[in-house]
Structure 1
Amino acid sequence: MTISILAAGSLRKIWPALAKAWDRPVAIEFGPAGVLCERIRQGERCDLFLSANTTHPQSLLTAEIASEVAVFTHNQLCLSVKDTLLRGNPNWLELLADPTLRVATSTPLSDPSGDYTWQLFERIEQHYAGMGTGLKQRARQLVGGADSPAVPAGESAASWLLNSARTDIFIGYQSYAARPGIAVVAIPPPFQVRASYAFAVCHAEASALADFLLSAQAQAILQQGGFLPLVAQ
């Protein structure tokens, strides 16, 4: 039978490699995890939900919509900028502190990447009073929201937003590799926020696929795709 999957959009790029290794029929749709979770809660059929956080899968478990939840990989945030912006070697904090540069993020609540970014802003605020609050006010929520512009097929949100001059800096996941003309700027500890990805098994038919995601083979594929090693919670 074909397994139906609703998955966080940040898994789109790595999914073909995982699907090739799994080699069984699935029907998968990608989108903002918060939006997908609400669709499941409203009764849409989904055998396996893949979220970029643990909160949404746990809510399905609490509501007895899911029978099993587990973390299967991790990610972390970075800044994506046009490589020309790095002339003069500014660091990540100098880039964010520059009021002339436009900052774009995903949409909190609808998209876990936005939630993680708001956590980043709160960590910045703890070290630099006023800066984190200012970033929350400056940031344009351009991805994952109900009114967000659609990212063209085959494009990453970061490269599309930057190349179409919609922003100067995009804060998103590290797993999106740099593309021509786009530079990835790391965020160091203690500011870095680790993203935990979790699955929710909503029908027993998906249990084997969930187990596969925890296998050594799948974990190696995820790490090759820029995700972080699975660690204990």
Structure 2
Amino acid sequence: MTKKTAVAALGLACAMPAFAQQREQNTIMVLAAGSLREVMTELGEAWREQSGVGIAASYGPSGKLRETIEQGHQVDVFASAAVEHTDALAAKNLLSRSATFAYNDLCVVSTPAVGLTEANLVGTLVKPDVRLATSTPVYDPMGDYTWQFFRNADKAQPGAYDLLDAKALKLSGASAPGPGQKLPYVTAFEDSKADAYVMYCTNAASTLRALPNLTALRIPDALNVRSAYGIGAAPFSSEGQRFVAFVLGPAGKAILHRYGFD
């Protein structure tokens, strides 16, 4: 066993007693993408009112959460910002099935001085003096979707991909904020590390609530990349499967719509 594997195994072993204790307390364990934090909290509260069963949720980049499950950490429900991750776990029988439950789009949040509009979007973002922040590809689907946007931008303005790829500041997605910590999108502007930030439109709404002096622009359809969120329950978890059915049902969809998910 390598040192890295031993450390991972120790972390999983330490997590299991807490997992078992929370299940005894009539609570299901949920791993969810960071962009779902606010809406998942309300979904969990609504589910508790209906079923008497609560959720204990942990959040992070979807790719890392998938790796955690693949390494043996048992959870009741996994909600990913990319359906590909839940599809892969379902194919390995680590989830009973994978279902698309929400969609999100990309927006760009920026300072007013940037003067961002639909017409000047690509031309402005490639400027050397505009500091462009993004999430981290591979670890976080939002980063993957952002790089797809860069490729779409290259079709509209040849050479844009290389410029955007070279200048992008990967300020989020490699790890999740700890409990009580501010969103990395907020701190990027508060600490003056970015002039513009590509993020989910739902995250843009949260960022503007914290920093109303900023502006948000939804990337035009011709350049945007729509993300499909996937959810699935562990085969052993009947309560997890009931929670997934709730999220996919009318009450769950109504809550998702209120938070800007399609």
TM-score, normalised to structure 1, is 0.90
- SS at the partner of 1:4? strand
Displacement of 1:50 after TM fit? Answer: 0.4
Residue 95 (structure 1) shift: 2.8
1:165 is the counterpart of 2:192: yes
Match for residue 10 of structure 2? none
Cα distance in 1 for residues equivalent to 2:66 and 2:160 = 32
**Is 2:30–2:58's contact at 8 Å kept on the other side of the alignment?**
yes
Q: How far is the alpha carbon of 1:207 from its aligned partner?
A: 0.6
Q: Which has the higher contact order (CA 8 A, sep 6+)?
A: 1
Task: Report what 2:42 is aligned to.
Answer: 17
Output the TM-score relative to the length of structure 2: 0.80
Tell me if structure 1 keeps the 8 A contact 2:31–2:65.
yes
Partner of 1:215: 249
Map 1:179-218 → 2, pairs under 5 A: 179=209, 180-202=212-234, 203-205=236-238, 206-218=240-252
Distance 1:20 1:39, change over 3 A: same
After TM superposition, the structure 1 stretch with the greater mean CA deviation from structure 2, 151-160 or 132-141, is 151-160
Q: Deviations over 1:127-177 (max 9, x none)?
A: 21110121011101111115x8x5773533322211111111110100121
1:89-122 deviation digits (Å, cap 9, x = unpaired): 9743233132201111111110000000011011
Q: How many Å separate the matches in 1 of 2:163 and 2:200?
A: 22
Structure 2 counterpart of 1:9, which letter? Answer: G
Paired residues of 2:114 and 2:130 also in contact (CA < 8 A): no
Cα contact 2:116–2:124 (8 A) shared by 1: no
Q: What letter is aligned with 2:27?
A: T
Counting aligned pairs with the same residue, the percent is: 33
- Secondary structure of the residue aligned to 1:68 is coil
Tell whether 2:139 aligns with 1:110. yes
CA RMSD of aligned residues (A): 2.0
For 2:4, the equivalent position in structure 1 comes to none
Partner of residue 148, structure 2? 119
* CA deviation profile, 1:34-64 (whole Å, cap 9, x unmatched): 0010000000111100000011111111112
How many residue pairs match? The answer is: 226
Question: Which has the larger share of strand?
Answer: 1
Q: Which has the higher helix share?
A: 2
Task: Measure the CA separation in 1 of the matches of 2:219 and 2:117.
Answer: 18
Aligned 8 A contact 1:79 1:92 in 2: no
Which is greater in Rg?
Answer: 2
Q: Deviations over 1:194-219 (max 9, x none)?
A: 01000121133211100011111111
Distance 1:175 1:158 in 2: 12
What stretches of structure 2 of length at least 5 have no aligned partner?
1-25
